[in-house]
């Protein structure tokens, strides 16, 4: 089952930081940028994926990029 990228970002922000603002700070993007990703008004750029993987190496990279288990 594939989870849309906006839902993956939301799950990560809830699990690792508890809020959109805190998670955005952790991966060095603006709260607005993350909010737009979660609301499906924007797609994350490669740098966002890289920053997330560097900050949270325990995240499965394939799941993050593709949404596949």
For residue 69, what pLDDT is reported?
67
Query: pLDDT tens across 20-47, in order?
Result: 999 999 999 999 999 999 999 999 999 9
Backbone angles phi, psi at 48, to 5 degrees: -65, -45
pLDDT band at 57 (very low <50, low <70, confident <90, very high): very high
Q: What is the pTM of this model?
A: 0.87
* Mean pLDDT across the chain: 94
The domain defined by 5-66 folds into 434 Repressor (Amino-terminal Domain) (1.10.260)
Flag whether pLDDT at 1 surpasses 90: no
Strand runs labelled E in 1-69:
none
């Amino acid at each position: 089952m594939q989870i849309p990228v906006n839902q993956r970002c939301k799950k990560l922000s809830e699990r690792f930081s508890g809020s959109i603002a805190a998670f955005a700070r952790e991966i060095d993007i603006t709260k607005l940028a993350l909010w737009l990703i979660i609301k499906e008004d924007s797609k994350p750029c490669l740098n966002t994926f890289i920053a997330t993987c560097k900050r949270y190496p325990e995240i499965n990279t394939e799941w993050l990029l593709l949404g596949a288990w």
